[in-house]
Amino acid sequence: MSNNLNATDEKHLRRALELAREGMGLASPNPYVGAVVCDGAGELAGTGFHTYEGKKHAEVTALEKAGDRARSGTLYLNLEPCCHTGRTGPCTDAVIASGVKRVVAATGDPNPQVAGKGFEKLRTAGIEVTIADGDLRDEARKLNESFAKYIQFSTPLVTLKAGMTLDGKIAPPPGESDNPSALGANTASGGWITSQEARAHVQKLRHESDAIMVGVGTVIADDPLLTDRTGMARRRPLLRVIIDSRLRLPLESRLAKTANNDLIVFCAFAEEKRKRELESRGIVVEQLPLYPEQDHYVVGGRPIKSASGRPDMRNLAKRLGELEITSLLIEGGALVNWAALAAGIVDKVFLYYAPKILAGTGAVPFASGEGFRHVSEAAHVKSISLHRFGEDFAVEGYLKDPYEPRVEGRTTNGPSVVYEGV
């Protein structure tokens, strides 16, 4: 419910949000935008949604469909219209030229180039502008949270996902399989932890993501494919990212066998022959800067040793941003989960829990490594929502608000990295 909209406004704005979702998998690195135009009598006159390939912005499509009927009508949008020239001209010009007398938007544009200036331009032209509050605003902000993070910080929204037992184990002890060092030794041989419903939802998360990442440890243990199997259209293939310091990725892994320029391995040392071997199979290999030798994070005033000799997670996020990746789903395992948390690159978590208890010290924990030593230092998950999937449930929550301006990163004075609070 929005407090400042009537039932008709709400209905059309909800439709605009639905239309925006049609761009799922097709709009990135641009935002999801849907538009509805009603004529002066309140009758539906045109709709539109944005896809990157389609190029045209949603409001322009909807206004073109409405034609003259837009005059004295109302335009409903989930996002503030742009007022700058990108691949297309400013939408505010098209809105003003259309003759609509009112614009109802669910939320402002987080793009610093727009951020309120679009609304201002419309108001200056004499158009009445209403910005929703309540649920509709929250829904609209959630829908474009990856875009919000990417456009402000040039790095993807990072979601840490794991499927685990109630006692926080993501796998049974590695030694429990017949041949623990064999590729894929852990692969669902002992059964999946989470239910089929939960795993189907993970596919949805993958569909909504531009990239997915695991550590080479998970490749060796599980031999995963890491594909989007929803069958829904996407403009770019899901970029499969492996973090693998010394190129241990097995050539006989399902990932290596299915690589088609959609598999990128970030390493610390690229031995030339090995690199060529991987590249000849359509695998992209990139060397990333290491965590500096004496480098450490400072959490709650205490230094946390970083993974020396391994690629720096913050550089990884930066590099993915350069590749126009707006969202990254990290699917483990234990060491990579910790490294991502410790580096402070995680924005949100999506943690699935099955009502099972593995117990024991040998089972693989959600995040290993050094861990936070004091409750006061623990990563604090906020704005939590709970989801049910059959007998499983999931916790979705935020470590950082993707819309919130923040200061983070490396200090230049001195050897250590100061990162306060994850």
Ligand X SMILES: NC(=O)c1ccc[n+]([C@@H]2O[C@H](COP(=O)([O-])OP(=O)(O)OC[C@H]3O[C@@H](n4cnc5c(N)ncnc54)[C@H](OP(=O)(O)O)[C@@H]3O)[C@@H](O)[C@H]2O)c1
Which residues are at the interface with ligand X (CB under 6 A)? Answer: 162-164, 170-171, 174, 186, 193, 214-218, 221-222, 243-246, 248, 307, 310-311, 313, 331-336, 339, 364, 368
- Comparing CA positions, the residue from 191, 200, 260 lying closest to residue 229 is 200
- Work out whether 57 is an interface residue with Zn ion (CB under 5 A): yes
Q: Check if the beta carbon of residue 242 is closer than 8 Å to that of residue 224.
A: no
- Interaction partner, residue 82 (Zn ion, ligand X, none; CB < 5-8 Å by kind): Zn ion
- Work out whether 82 is an interface residue with Zn ion (CB under 5 A): yes
Q: Please, which residue, 45 or 221, has the CB nearer to ligand X? A: 221
**Helix or strand or coil: residue 189?**
coil
> Active site includes 145?
no
Burial 118-149 (b: 16+ CB within 10 A, else e): bbebbeeeebebbbbeeebbebbbebbbbbbb
- Work out whether 122 is an interface residue with Zn ion (CB under 5 A): no
- Work out whether 91 is an interface residue with Zn ion (CB under 5 A): yes
- Work out whether 95 is an interface residue with Zn ion (CB under 5 A): no
What φ, ψ does residue 165 adopt, rounded to 5°? -80, 170
- Interaction partner, residue 335 (Zn ion, ligand X, none; CB < 5-8 Å by kind): ligand X
Q: Please, which residue, 51 or 194, has the CB nearer to ligand X? A: 194
- Comparing CA positions, the residue from 46, 42, 123, 25 lying closest to residue 81 is 123
Q: Cβ 171 to ligand X, closest distance in Å?
A: 3
Instruction: Choose the catalytic residue: 10, 59, 80, 145.
Output: 59
Q: Please, which residue, 70 or 343, has the CB nearer to ligand X? A: 343
Distance CA 57, CA 88 (A): 8
Q: Please, which residue, 85 or 308, has the CB nearer to ligand X? A: 308
- DSSP category for residue 51: -
Q: Cβ 24 to ligand X, closest distance in Å?
A: 23
Q: Cβ 220 to Zn ion, closest distance in Å?
A: 46
Burial 6-18 (b: 16+ CB within 10 A, else e): eeebbebbbbbbe
Contact stretch for Zn ion (CB under 5 A) within 44-52, 82-90, 180-188, 307-315: 82-90
Residues near 258 by Cβ (< 8 Å), separated by ≥ 6?
225, 227
- Interaction partner, residue 285 (Zn ion, ligand X, none; CB < 5-8 Å by kind): none
Q: Cβ 327 to Zn ion, closest distance in Å?
A: 21
CA angle, 308 then 309 then 315, to 5°: 85
- The pair of three-digit structure tokens given for residue 333, joined into one six-digit string: 């395992």
Q: Please, which residue, 143 or 316, has the CB nearer to ligand X? A: 316
Q: Check if the beta carbon of residue 103 is closer than 8 Å to that of residue 63.
A: no
Q: Check if the beta carbon of residue 95 is closer than 8 Å to that of residue 120.
A: no
- From residue 231 to residue 250, the character string flagging contacts with Zn ion as x (rule: CB under 5 A) and all else as - is --------------------
Q: Please, which residue, 35 or 354, has the CB nearer to Zn ion? A: 35
- Binding residues (CB under 5 A) for Zn ion: these are 57, 82, 91
Give the catalytic positions in this structure.
Answer: 59
